[in-house]
Amino acid sequence: QVQLQESGPGLVKPSQTLSLNCSVSGDSIHTGPFYWTWIRQSAGKGLEWIGRIDINGNAEYNPSLKSRVTISLDSSWNQFSLKLTSVTAADTAMYYCARDANTALITGFDFWGRGTLVTVSS
């Protein structure tokens, strides 16, 4: 069973950089046709796709966030990370990491982390 776990600061000051990690267990981030993804959800609002990275390290980002986002793989720790620069209060949200599968058996976000709440405030 694949498990994902987000980690990182719960409080970030405005204009600073939000950094989160997602540890993956039960599978290697370098196997299978998967995309490792970050999604966020503001209080009382819907889901917003931030971006994803494939097993070869090729990343794609939501155009609305592209200028501020970097997603990368950390093979030594079997995890992937999110960096979001120049944050404002609008970036306050629950941040989820998820696996976006593209296999013959299943596609879509089949495994999710529990989420981590990040608040942007001075």
- Contact residues: other proteins, CB under 8 A: 37, 39, 45-49, 51-52, 60-63, 96, 98, 100, 106-110, 112-115
Q: Judged by CB, which is closer to other proteins: 63, or 122?
A: 63
One DSSP character per residue, 39-65 reads EEE-TTS-EEEEEEEETTS-EEE-TTT
- Supply the minimum distance, in Å, between the C-beta of residue 76 and other proteins: 26
Residue of 108, 8, 114 whose CA lies nearest to 52: 108
- Supply the minimum distance, in Å, between the C-beta of residue 110 and other proteins: 5
Q: Judged by CB, which is closer to other proteins: 7, or 62?
A: 62
Q: Judged by CB, which is closer to other proteins: 27, or 60?
A: 60
Residue of 37, 21, 42 whose CA lies nearest to 92: 42
Which amino acid, residue 11? Answer: L
